[in-house]
Amino acid sequence: MPENQKNTEEFTDFGFERVPLEGKTLRVGAVFDSVADRYNLMNDLMSFGMHRIWKRFALSKTALRPGGFALDVAAGSGDLSKGMARQVGPNGLVVVTDINSNMLHKGRDFLTDAGFSGNISYAQADAEKLPFGSRQFDCVTIGFGLRNVTNKPAALADMYRVLKPGGRLLVLEFSKPKLSLLNSIYDIYSFQVLPRLGGLITNDSDSYRYLAESIRMHPDQDALKKLMINEGFERCEYHNLSAGIVALHLGFKL
């Protein structure tokens, strides 16, 4: 590669590494290809089951009504999708998306086995380039997925685009703990316990080391709120959960 081309190549974060911009999506995809089969089990183990409480709180903020339309971006195993499908009822629709085909298929299997089919549809989609028309959805959610997106402002802008006026975005994501003592314990757990647990359960400690690093590189509560405001969201707010280990951000399209 010519030297001048090397100098102009763009880089981004992949955990604590700096990688070429176009390579991050492939590497994140490889992580989720690796963990897809044990994704639900690992969520329960590494959060001590707390992820279910965090998601339940997020669902309490959707304001969805029967007949509503919702979009779940980076839906993973579909926990938020399942809750929203209950909220919109048989006359509504929840569109379930993930950029990773393995995760999308696992989520579809999970939701089908749980008895959800008539008011759910599926689409493999990049959060930065959603394949939907503007002003389509009453609520858009992204749970524990934004930190894996390469261009977060682009993703937030496209989620804003597909919302109806009066609609809302919910971003549920790991964030910055608010207790100094908790920070130390959290670091030990994230960088020593979590990779070992991933190695034992999925035979892949590297993927869970990346997940721990990606949490540290993700914008904190106020920085993410500012990103949302910059992309047009109004009345932005966040709720710290488990002392800020996780935060739920809300933004509205007025």
| Pick from 208, 191, 190: nearest CA to 199 | 208
Beta-carbon neighbour count of residue 104 at 10 Å? 22
In the three-class reduction of DSSP (H, G, I as helix; E, B as strand; rest coil), residue 250 is classed as strand
Cβ contacts of 22 within 8 Å, gap of 6 or more = none
In the three-class reduction of DSSP (H, G, I as helix; E, B as strand; rest coil), residue 92 is classed as coil
User: HSE on the CB side for 195, CA within 13 Å?
Assistant: 12
130-165 core/surface letters (b: 16 or more CB in 10 A; e: else): bebeeebbbbbbbbbbbbbbbbbeebbbbbbbbbbe
Domain ranges of the chain: 35-177+211-252
Query: Mean pLDDT, to the nearest integer, of 209-234?
Result: 95
CA distance 234 to 252: 5
CA distance 208 to 46: 10
Does the pTM surpass 0.85? The reply is: yes
Helix (H) or strand (E) holding 112: helix 101-113
In the DSSP assignment, the letter for residue 147 is G
Architecture per CATH, domain 35-177+211-252, reads as: 3-Layer(aba) Sandwich (3.40)
The average confidence (pLDDT) of the chain is 91
| Pick from 156, 135, 132, 150: nearest CA to 226 | 156
More confident residue, 29 or 173: 173
Lowest mean pLDDT among 3-17, 97-111, 162-176: 3-17
CB 74 within 8 A of CB 97: yes
pLDDT score for 220:
97
Q: Please give the share of the chain, as a percent, with pLDDT higher than 70.
A: 96
| pLDDT tier for residue 50 given thresholds of 50, 70 and 90 | very high
pLDDT score for 6:
47
Position 144 pLDDT exceeds 60 = yes
